Amino acid sequence: MRQSIKAFRYFVSTLAVSAALGLVCFAQQAAPKAIQGAAATSAATDQSTVLVADWTRARDYTKEYLDAMPEDGLGLKPTPDIRSFAEQFLHLANANFAFGSAATGAANPQQGKDLEKMTEYKTKAALTKIVMESYDFVINSVKGMDVKKMNESVKLFGRFDVSRGVALNKGFEHQTHHRGQTTIYLRLKGVKPPNERLF
């Protein structure tokens, strides 16, 4: 008799657990789209917040690099066939404007311009100004975009189908790459590069 009672209790417990799991699954499938949409919006908002924080940190770090290089080092090239220090940052700025515009839909204020070839940006003050403007453009464009569109697909540079968030991450990777290259320029000029800013 005891064995039968134990078996019956085990059977009832198993049924109860199965029923509870079934209800959880049903509730998830039957969740209103508004709740699911709210979760997606929350994730996009979090991504937007992280992007703004990272781009702001990158802007401040880049400013330290620009501040560290003496005026007479702007034209420095480690070898003749590569970009000068100034050209590296002008290339970076051009790309920031392009990535930011493609990702957010904001109009690129430098559309059609090749900043590297423009002599007006070869002084330290002018170079710093345009580079900082490129970061501010990305930051303000991200702040101004509809976060629900972060996962929308865009055509990057007319060739790559990526989400808006991925486009911004690719832009971030690009600016990191080119700023990093200029570390050697500072060393060649006898300047200690700024300490890394991870946070």
pTM of the model: 0.78
Tell whether 130 and 178 lie within a shared domain: yes
pLDDT in tens, 41-69: 555 568 889 999 999 999 999 999 999 99
How far apart CA 71 and CA 136 sit, in angstroms, is 23
How many separate helices (H) and strands (E) can be counted in the chain?
A: 6, 2
Q: Bridge partners of 163?
A: 153
Quote the domain boundaries for residue 163.
Answer: 41-188
Size of the chain in residues: 199
How far apart CA 153 and CA 149 sit, in angstroms, is 9
What are the CA-CA distances from residue 135 to residues 74, 140, 169 (Å)? 20, 9, 13
Tell whether 94 and 124 lie within a shared domain: yes
Would you say 115 and 130 are in contact if contact means Cβ atoms under 8 Å apart? yes
Name the helix (H) or strand (E) containing 162.
strand 160-163
pLDDT in tens, 70-110: 999 999 999 999 999 999 999 999 999 999 999 999 999 99
Beta carbons within 8 Å of 167's beta carbon, 6+ residues apart: 99, 102, 103, 154, 156
Answer yes or no: is 35 within a domain.
Answer: no
The three-class DSSP label of residue 111 is coil
Answer yes or no: is 111 within a domain.
Answer: yes
Provide the domain count of the chain: 2
